[in-house]
Structure 1
Amino acid sequence: MNKFKRTALGMAVALATATASPIVHADDGFMLSEKLSVSGFIDMSYVYTDKDGASSESASGLDQFEIDLLYSFDDKLKAQVDLEYKDSYGSVDLEQAFFTYAVTDEFTLKAGRFLSYSGWETEEPTGLFQYSGTGYAPYFYGYYQQGVSGLYSTDAFAVALSVINSPYSPEDTNSEKPGYEAMLAITPTDSITVKAFYLSDEDTNTTNVWAAYSAGDLTLAAEYNLGDYANGNDGSGYLLMANYAMGSAGITLRYHDFEIENSAGALVDDGSAITISPSYAVSDNLLMVFEYRMDESDIRGDSDSIAVEALISF
């Protein structure tokens, strides 16, 4: 399988076993100087959607461009700044800006604006095993955060605690009532990783647990989520995923399901989908991803979609 779709599991294992900084330097990035390196990606796609009872839709264009600047002051102190452009934003946005300091080989501190550790599916397309995310991440995963985080990791387990303004919003600058994110990860073998997260922000609490098995060309993953929200809603969701690599080609099968209900038990949002996604690495830097997805939802209706994605990584 190509290196793009290995990123999700590779970063997950790295966070559970790393002995220094959690900043991951991309193998295909390039050095501007002895201390400064650059990596990034260009993501383009075409998507056709056929909705039951409505007209079909199609969209194409540049989904996202990102450039990441990584600076190593020395063996202990490192900094990272990620800049991105999305069509939905229409402008360049500061995604992350943080530094890490390796206090010891096992303990690392991080401060600034950084992405939550939680969730099997990554925020970036370079970390997904298929084109689309489940769509339930805003209900259960943490997002970009502002604050400080400590990570203690060994070969067998890792624990992390982040104290942030909010685990769900990078725009929250109020630190009078901080939010929290806690992580426990275990790696009983080289092939198995299990992680559990608890996130809290005043009256909103979410739990995310996932497990992954990766050996040879096969990767299996399962995830379960719970949410208890400040507005009185609660929810749950899960996914099951399998990916098999065949040289430069690969194929992913995924099923996910989630429901959000209000305090009276009425459905607020829901969705389930079967996703089939072949991919092919044209070169070390160009990945083509194809996807067929069948969605069902009592709230948003049923639909089928086809996507073609070109992902260039550097």
Structure 2
Amino acid sequence: MNRINKVTRWASALMAAGAAGAIPVAHADIELGNGISITGFLDMSYSSVKPDGGSSTESIGIDQFETDFKYAGSSGVSAQVDIEYGDGFDGSDDETFVEQAFITKAFNEQFSVKVGRFLSYTGWETEEPTGLFQYSGTGYAPYFYGFYQNGVSAYYNGGKFAVMGSAVASAFNPLDRNSIDGVDDKMGYEFGVSVTPVEGLTAKAFYISDNDTDTDIVNVWVSYAVSGFTFAGEYNTADYGGINYDYDGDGVIDATGVEGDGYLLMANYATGPYGFTVRYHDFEIEDAAGATTDDGSAITLSPSYKVGGNLLLVGEYRMDSSDTRGDSDLFAIEALFTF
């Protein structure tokens, strides 16, 4: 799971799945009997990145393979365990690990509570490639999105209005169990609201307060789907409390500074098996003196083609510009198989 090229979130996967031709159809949920089913995907790609004034770096192989096991019990109790082969939470390559594992209790059709390790609600772009309209994610998710979290979450769906909230060990670190050497950490919290006032229009707003890292984040996005088109816009703002933090545990500081802002604009058109996406994003992170510690913007062009109900081919050309990282061009071809 590459957090630069595969930054995604399940909250927008449901919206993305409604755009015919944009991404594969929903997973099949293969029934094994006695309430047990499985689903998953295989993601493979070739990519070439050429920095300005430098040599190209090429990569080919399996990006991610995931199998999700689901159990539907009685009295509204269900469970899900996602097993992934890819980049581990600690940044290590080619690992097989438990990505999610949680139990859900549905009290009625509107209200449910889950406990375990689960994915943050935040972000327009999904954590998994099955929910993206293009090959790459923006790359700014470690600054503005929550990640996999250990804790408890509640969700209320009132039709055109929904409310969600979580209390977790950490909003950003799935390996955090709220204790370091026997000393309790501070908790993290996430709150969100969603409205769908008319058909095709969805707006969501989220607030993350991670007391352990002294971080506060606001994430807002809006999407509108009509006549084969899907339009989306997202805005993020964050206060990092003036600290450095390694969000994904890979030994690299992800947030350096006191504040950050970022946004994206996206348009997709899909007809039959064909789809085409245009996206622009921009973000900047500043320190206490107002100096930029990280930034980036990019224009992404991405055609896609459904070979069948389970196989999607995605191409991408991306032009990145950054004062801190330098400029580069990306070319990629992706094959995404779902089951």
Task: Verify same fold: TM over 0.5.
Answer: yes
Of residues 89, 94, 118, the one that matches 2:93 is 89
1:265 aligned counterpart, secondary structure? coil
The one-letter code matched in structure 2 to 1:237 is G
Which string of whole-angstrom CA distances, capped at 9 and with x for unpartnered residues, describes residues 79-126 of structure 1? 000000015532201100001111122111011000000000000000
Contact 2:287 2:293 in 1 (8 A): yes
Partner of 1:111: 115
Structure 1, unaligned runs of 5 or more:
15-24
Residue 212 (str. 1) matches residue 223 (str. 2): yes
Partner of 1:19: none
2:33 aligned counterpart, secondary structure? coil
1:138 aligned counterpart, secondary structure? helix
Contact 1:96 1:114 in 2 (8 A): yes
CA–CA distance in 2 between the matches of 1:10 and 1:233? 31
Cα offset, 1:152, TM superposition:
1.0
TM-score (ref. length: structure 1): 0.91
Which string of whole-angstrom CA distances, capped at 9 and with x for unpartnered residues, describes residues 18-47 of structure 1? xxxxxxx95423111140110000000000
TM-score (ref. length: structure 2): 0.85
CA–CA distance in 2 between the matches of 1:36 and 1:224? 39
2:197 aligned counterpart, secondary structure? strand
Which string of whole-angstrom CA distances, capped at 9 and with x for unpartnered residues, describes residues 118-144 of structure 1? 000000000000000000000000000
Of residues 222, 236, 240, the one that matches 1:225 is 236
CA–CA distance in 2 between the matches of 1:45 and 1:106? 39
1:189 aligned counterpart, secondary structure? coil
CA–CA distance in 1 between the matches of 2:115 and 2:223? 28
Residue 78 (str. 1) matches residue 78 (str. 2): yes
Partner of 2:191: 182
Partner of 2:321: 296
Cα offset, 1:9, TM superposition:
4.2
Cα offset, 1:8, TM superposition:
6.5
1:126 aligned counterpart, secondary structure? helix
Partner of 1:164: 168
Aligned-residue Cα RMSD (Å) equals: 1.9
Partner of 1:267: 292
CA–CA distance in 1 between the matches of 2:167 and 2:125? 22
The one-letter code matched in structure 1 to 2:66 is E
Contact 1:243 1:253 in 2 (8 A): yes
CA–CA distance in 1 between the matches of 2:207 and 2:305? 36
Residue 11 (str. 1) matches residue 14 (str. 2): yes
Contact 2:11 2:121 in 1 (8 A): no
Contact 1:26 1:39 in 2 (8 A): no
Partner of 1:249: 274
CA–CA distance in 1 between the matches of 2:26 and 2:154? 22
CA–CA distance in 2 between the matches of 1:280 and 1:12? 19
CA–CA distance in 2 between the matches of 1:277 and 1:8? 22
Which stretch of structure 1 is more off in the superposition, 162-171 or 130-139? 162-171
Residue 144 (str. 1) matches residue 163 (str. 2): no
Partner of 2:103: 99
CA–CA distance in 1 between the matches of 2:83 and 2:291? 40
Which string of whole-angstrom CA distances, capped at 9 and with x for unpartnered residues, describes residues 217-244 of structure 1? 1110000001111315210000000000
CA–CA distance in 1 between the matches of 2:66 and 2:275? 25
Contact 1:149 1:162 in 2 (8 A): yes
How many matched pairs? 299
1:173 aligned counterpart, secondary structure? coil
The one-letter code matched in structure 2 to 1:129 is F
The one-letter code matched in structure 2 to 1:248 is P
CA–CA distance in 1 between the matches of 2:11 and 2:114? 20
Cα offset, 1:11, TM superposition:
2.1
The one-letter code matched in structure 2 to 1:222 is G
The one-letter code matched in structure 2 to 1:267 is T
Structure 2, unaligned runs of 5 or more:
1-7, 18-24, 244-256
Contact 2:12 2:125 in 1 (8 A): no
Where does structure 1 differ by over 3 angstroms across 4 or more consecutive aligned residues?
7-10
Partner of 2:263: 238
Distance 1:10 1:134, change over 3 A: closer
